[in-house]
Amino acid sequence: MTLRMRTLSFLTTSFSSSSMPSLLDQNLKINSSELPSPWLNSSLLPISSSGLGISCFTMAFGAISNLTALGILAKSRVKFRRQSKTPFLLLAVALLVTDLGSHVIPGTFALYLHIGQTYKTQRTLPTGTFCRIFGASMVFFGLCPLLLGCAMAMERCVGITQPLFHSTMITIVHMRRVVLFLASIALVLAIPPFFGVGTYTAQFPGTWCFLPVNSPHSTADTSLALVFSFLGLTALTLSLLCNILSGLALLLARMRSYSVNTKSAAHSSRRASSASTSFLFCSLDVEMMVQLAAITVMSCVCWSPFLIHIAVMQFNQIPRASIHKQDKFILLALRLASWNQILDPWVYILLRRAVLFRVRCTGSAHGQTETARRSFTGTRRPTVFRESVAL
């Protein structure tokens, strides 16, 4: 009996000292090979509730802003129909709907992960189907607004530079097909990881999923990231070029109109100038160009750091020690890009003809009041001077 107990004790000691370390080493190697960044191995990463608050605020504020802008565009439906601007309205509605979806769908996933990290003692990282769906929604709702903004700029460029062709060839049916085509492009880029082409991985600090940016796992990951960056940067470049051409064409047309009106009304030049300026400022074409210019500028400012960083990281092999710093930068760039979907609806809320007209009228009234005050002061001063001399 004693000999049997000694044998069992020896076998137990041998198994615990030789087999268990090898199993743990294999398990750690498997887990470390699946993790894209060294930050996931750190159990001491601080978990703050500020991320949860920011996520809740951006999601709620963005959804309310987009719903408000959609309501304003719905009220403008009759006006756009009457002036044959329905294609632009359809593209604007599609842009706001995708912005709303980008807050509701990816925002819900991010909120779920923030809650899991804030109120649970053990960190849970998104994996499997959840991470793939989250990453696909990030790619789809990130690319769609850029492509739709480019389509809006091209539609306005054709409408301003070639109005006859625009009125006869570009219809609401064509715009619906364009919206479906652009959505299909974004969808085709988002779904390959579901079929084993590329991967979606958890990104720093474990609250969002995307294509591997700083450490791609395969050639497919690099290709998908480059295509995403290339499409986004191309859409921004085309939007800038189309808006510049449209702005120049509109400016030349208004200058010609202003010159004709001024010459035909030489006897009342001030009144003609005021009317021409008011028409210039309140024109529907000018309203849409101002909105497009604001959307393009915001898109370039918000999206350029994220897209450029993705493209650069696919060609530069950074040392493993500095990956954590790059992860922080990509998180900051993502937060900046998310504000584009928040600011887009405020373009339609604030940069409307009614608001612009009120601002102009307020400025004109202030200028007229200041001119009248100066005129009254100038005529009053000689009288006071003469009275003082008489005394």
The tens-digit pLDDT sequence of the chain (391 residues) is 444 444 445 444 443 444 434 433 433 333 333 344 444 444 434 445 566 788 888 899 999 999 999 998 888 766 555 555 788 889 999 999 999 999 999 999 998 888 877 776 445 677 789 999 999 999 999 999 999 999 999 998 998 888 888 888 888 899 999 999 999 999 999 999 999 999 999 988 888 999 998 877 789 999 999 999 999 999 999 999 999 998 898 888 878 876 776 766 654 544 444 444 444 444 667 777 888 888 899 999 999 999 999 999 888 867 665 677 788 899 999 999 999 989 989 887 887 766 666 665 665 555 555 554 555 455 544 444 344 444 4
Question: CB burial class (10 A; 0-12, 13-18, 19+) of residue 76?
Answer: middle
On the CB side of 80, how many CA atoms lie within 13 Å of its CA?
A: 19
Q: Nearest-CA neighbor of 243 among 300, 198, 292, 188? A: 292
What does the pLDDT read at residue 253? Answer: 81
Q: Which residues of 171-185 are buried (b: 16+ CB within 10 A; e: fewer)?
A: eeeebeebbeebbeb
What does the pLDDT read at residue 114? Answer: 83
> In whole angstroms, what is the distance from residue 114 CA to residue 214 CA?
22
Query: What is the pTM assigned to this prediction?
Result: 0.76
What does the pLDDT read at residue 135? Answer: 95
Question: CB burial class (10 A; 0-12, 13-18, 19+) of residue 306?
Answer: buried
> In whole angstroms, what is the distance from residue 180 CA to residue 237 CA?
22
What does the pLDDT read at residue 58? Answer: 87
Segments in 162-194 forming alpha helices (H): 163-169, 172-190
